[in-house]
Every structure is written in C-alpha cells, then in structure tokens.
A and B are shown apart, each in its own frame.
Chain A
Amino acid sequence: MPRKIRLQREDFDAAAEAEALRRGRTDIGALVAFSGVCRGAEAGEPITALTLEYYPGMAEAEIARHVEEAEKRWPLSGVTVVHRYGRIEPGENIVLVVTASSHREAAFAAAEFLMDYLKTRAPFWKQVESAAGSSWVEAKDTDDAAAARWGKPSGREAAE
C-alpha cells in the first residue's frame, strides 16, 4: 500500500495530494481527504496565529505506527498524511489525511481514526498567539474520548 508521511513548514495542496494518491490506479473506489484548518478564534477569543512544535523523529514514527494500525483494521489502498509545523495563521492548512480504499466505509473510517489519533498521540503541541500574548493549547477531554472509542491499538503495548 502506498504510504506517504510528511512533516513540513510550508503549506500543502490537498487536491494535488489526493490526485497523486489515485493517479493511474483503477482499484480505488473511494478517496477521502480531510484538511484541518487554523481557526480565527480559540475558546471564543480571536487569535493571531498558531505555532506548532513537534518532536522530530518521534512524530514521524508515531504517525507511521498509526498508519500501520489503520492498514490492519481496514482494506486500504493508500494513505497520505501531511502535518505542518511552525507558525500558521487563521485560514491556513494545518494537517491533511488522505485515505483510499475500494469502498467508502474503509476510507471514511480510516481517515477519522487517523485524525483522532493524530490529535491525542502524535507529539505536536500548539501555542496560540493573540492580543493577550501567547499560551499553550490545552488538550481536550473530547479528543481523548474520540480516540478511545477506537479501542486499544492491536499488537502493541498500550502506553496509556
């Protein structure tokens, strides 16, 4: 299965990434592309920008582990994950997950699974810049709950 994982400072082109995944293939019947975008407000307060910090080496490894887990759970034909770091302004892209499968159920489910795990397990941290200064975004219980509904990763030592 074609698997592409990229961390980058620069923006990405979601349509081009999705096209690259399906080009020349006739086994793909469903392609889901999810983009996470920087909102202009956090907790009701306007923000100037987000700055994303990450753990080099571990972030890539952790995303790869979850892509492998998704492959075990669903019949996938390809996955692309692009996660940006550095300073990102409202309206800009943050993260892209593209999943391909022969049928839509697997593509939708795998994309949601990967996003839920990216939010709670991939070592990235968001700092918010606003008129009031800068502060670290706090992890949300709702994100933990979203990840928990997928159950424990198979064949791995559960870490939390």
Chain B
Amino acid sequence: MSKLRLVYFAWVRERVGKAEEEIVPPASVTTVADLMRWLGGRGEEYAHAFENAKVIRAAIDKSHVRPDAAIAGAHEIAFFPPMTGG
C-alpha cells in the first residue's frame, strides 16, 4: 500500500490532535472500517477519537463512503463527526 493522506475534522481532529497526516497502513487494512480499527490502536488520542467508530463518517477523495468501502486506490481519506452545516 502506498502513502495515504488522512484528514480529520471537528472533534475527531481535536481528539487525534492533528488536522492531517500521511500514513502507510498494513496490507491487512482493506476497508474504511479496518482503517478506523487500526488507527484506534495507534495510541491514546486515536483510541479516544475512534472509540465510538459507529458515529464517525468517512470520505474517500472527497466523496462520502460507507465503512465497508475499499480503500485501495484512495489518495485522501477523511474522518469526521456527523455534519451540522446549513
């Protein structure tokens, strides 16, 4: 797997402690849900951010995706809480 850019928004960003980063996930991580589980094991901040993964939304290359979406070929994956615009 090549380098993947991760971006975080709102309370996910605050809990992780950064707005973006580049990572290289292990080959076993193939879906958005896998990625959230893997991120959750990267330390306290991540564990806190992803403790309730069910409520976190994701986007691949700026389009909404479900947790079962494959991450192969993705350049940028975003994680954020349910949206509250408008």
Residue of B11, B66, B78, B82 near A55 (CB, 8 A) is B78
Evaluate whether A115 and B59 lie within 8 angstroms (CB atoms) in the complex, with A125-B10, A159-B64 already known: no
Q: Is B83 an interface residue (CB 8 A)?
A: yes
Interface size class on chain B is: 10 to 19
Q: Is A74 an interface residue (CB 8 A)?
A: no
Task: Determine the main DSSP class of A at the interface with B.
Answer: mixed
Cβ A125 vs Cβ B86 within 8 A: no
Residue of B59, B78, B84 near A139 (CB, 8 A) is B84
Q: Is B47 an interface residue (CB 8 A)?
A: no
Q: Is B62 an interface residue (CB 8 A)?
A: yes
**With A and B bound together, what is the CA distance between A121 and B82 in angstroms?**
8
CB-based nearest A residue for B64: A159
Residue of A57, A58, A61, A126 near B84 (CB, 8 A) is A126
Q: Is A108 an interface residue (CB 8 A)?
A: no
Evaluate whether A118 and B59 lie within 8 angstroms (CB atoms) in the complex, with A53-B9, A160-B64 already known: no
| Chain A proximity mask over B24-63: 1 for CB below 8 Å, otherwise 0 | 0000000000000000000000000000000001010011
Q: Is A124 an interface residue (CB 8 A)?
A: yes
CB distance from B79 to the nearest CB of A (A): 11
Identify the A interface with B (CB < 8 A): 36, 52-55, 57-59, 61-62, 83, 94-95, 115, 118-127, 136-139, 143, 159-160
